[in-house]
Amino acid sequence: MNFDGIYLAGVGTHLPPSVTTEEAVRTGRYTEEAHEASGLESVAVETSLPAVDMAVRAARTAVSRSGHQAQDFLGLLHSSTYYQGPEGWSPAHYILLNTLDRPISAHHVQHGCLGVLAGLQTAALRLAASSDPDAAMLLTAADNFETPLVDRWRSSSMFVLADAGSSLVVSRRGGFARLLAMDFVSQPGMEAMHRGAEPLLPPQVPVSRVMDFDARLEHWRLKWAEGGAIPLGDFGELIADSVQRTLAAADSSLERVTRIVHNGFNRDPLSVFLLDPLGLSADRGTWELNRRIGHASVSDFALGLEHLWNTGQVRPGDQVLMLGFTTGMEAACALLEITSGPEPVR
């Protein structure tokens, strides 16, 4: 799907201090073998600030950078993958109250690590339908995994979970990047990969089970060893298909793309699942940043984009491809064109 006249007008992030992987090994939280395999140097860990407050901090920065006033915004979309607050409560409205404080709609978007891209597509469609040339939408995202219910260092061999908040202002008026095209494609036959053998009813008592992605995958490995059917699919093909359709919609190509912003996976999974299917090397992506942060779930995309933009690694006219996948399994990407550089620090 291509877009016309939709921009990113502001970006903001909140990153807590990092814990080095060497320190995690020394204190027994991480194994030396996993450390060496991951390629990670450190991981962002927030010990006191709730996820929604990280989102608020990031949103205030994004709105300030955007030049938009509170009255310009048509709505707020917040995304997350993990606990945000009491069950039945609305984190999106908490963030709205502490940022724009206007009687507009606020939604909670839950689409795994693609939450920000799902929010971006929804915001772009909402703005495309508006007749207000100054209309804007606020996207926020945040997760805090500092809880006994999550072992951030061992929950998956594909990544180490990081804490962060992020925000984007999507605008009709203009901005530092123009949205050219987006695409989502899924392989629903693989949804069971992250469900494992866990029951769907009745709800599990949260404290009784620590989140463990590898244990769910191990369920299918054992079934395979026993000769049973498992939910397999060519996920590299899914990634390549999403990219091809997005680039075609924008009449572009991978050769035209300057940089890739992707999920913050460990070194080998990043290559196998995202870069290799497209024939890309790590230096085209944001590995240099991700290896110092870890996998910040829904915030990977804004963190990577802000980093490339602020450090001058992308300039006006450059194209940036935001690419990732989530459970389901589903892949998505968004193609941007940088239209201006960051304001000089005074």
Same domain, 45 and 86: yes
Residue 244 CA to chain centroid, in angstroms? 20
Residues 12, 155, single domain; the answer is yes
User: Which DSSP helix (H) or strand (E) runs through 78?
Assistant: strand 73-79
Q: Which residues pair with 262 in a beta bridge?
A: 323
Domain identity same for 167 and 109? yes
The predicted structure's pLDDT at residue 196: 66
What number of helices (H) and strands (E) belong to the chain?
10, 11
Q: What is the pLDDT along the chain (346 residues), one digit of tens a residue?
A: 999 999 999 999 999 999 999 999 999 999 999 999 999 999 999 999 999 999 999 999 999 999 999 999 999 999 999 999 998 999 999 999 999 999 999 999 999 999 999 999 999 999 999 999 999 999 999 999 999 989 999 989 999 999 999 999 999 999 999 999 999 998 776 676 656 667 778 766 554 456 665 555 554 455 555 665 555 556 678 889 999 999 999 999 999 999 999 999 999 999 998 999 999 999 999 999 999 999 999 999 999 999 999 999 999 999 999 999 988 789 999 999 999 999 764 3
Question: Given this model, what pLDDT does residue 136 score?
Answer: 98
**46/69 same-domain check:** yes
Q: Are residues 25 and 96 in the same domain?
A: yes
170 and 213 in one domain?
no
Query: Which residue range is the domain that position 201 belongs to?
Result: 188-225
- Name the domain count of the chain: 2
Same structural domain, 91 and 206: no
Last residue of a domain, one of 136, 152, 175: 175
Q: Are residues 106 and 161 in the same domain?
A: yes
Instruction: From residue 80, give the alpha-carbon distance in Å to each of 125, 126, 134, 138, 165.
Output: 21, 21, 27, 15, 10
Report pLDDT for 226: 60
d(CA 276, CA 246): 18
Q: Are residues 34 and 162 in the same domain?
A: yes
Task: Tell whether 81 and 166 lie within a shared domain.
Answer: yes
Q: Is the pTM of this model over 0.75?
A: yes
3-state helix, strand, coil in the chain (%, to 5): 40, 25, 40
pLDDT of residue 221: 57
pLDDT at res. 214: 58
* Greatest pairwise CA separation for the chain in angstroms: 65
Is residue 296, in this structure, part of any structural domain at all? Answer: no
Q: Are residues 151 and 195 in the same domain?
A: no
pLDDT at 346: 38
